[in-house]
Amino acid sequence: MGMAHAVHHSGRAEDLVDRLRADWRGERWDDVVLDDVRLLTPADQWPPVIRLDYRIGEQRGRWIETWDDQTLRAGTLDAASGLWLSIVSAHLMDLTEPPAAEQP
């Protein structure tokens, strides 16, 4: 078992990402388009690591983040989906282009 603090939530992470993908894939505002949402950790591991593929104009970006919040963990999927989009949109709306990839 990897992270000792991981909480197992019987597929909550997978359910959340399935909902995010269904709700927001293809969502567009201004020059930003959400292309895809993927779960990078096991379905029952919490907190989940989620990959968001997006475009700003013609430039592709990728945001990989560990997400943990009481609403994401235990709220309705509808509330969790709305919260996630509000955080993502606030973050992406401030960008004019995807951030440069970090060098190892």
8 Å CB contact between 67 and 81: no
Q: What is the pLDDT of residue 5?
A: 47
Rounded alpha-carbon distances, angstroms, from residue 41 to 24, 30, 57, 75, 94: 20, 31, 29, 20, 28
Rounded alpha-carbon distances, angstroms, from residue 66 to 22, 29, 47, 57: 20, 24, 6, 26
Q: What is the pLDDT of residue 4?
A: 41
* CB-neighbour burial class of residue 48 (10 A; exposed 0-12, middle 13-18, buried 19+): buried
The pLDDT tens digits along the chain (104 residues) read: 344 445 555 799 999 999 999 999 999 988 899 999 999 999 989 999 999 999 999 999 999 999 999 999 999 999 999 999 999 999 898 887 888 765 44
* Segments making up each domain of the chain, as ranges: 7-93
Count of Cβ atoms closer than 10 Å to residue 21 Cβ: 17
Q: What is the pLDDT of residue 8?
A: 53
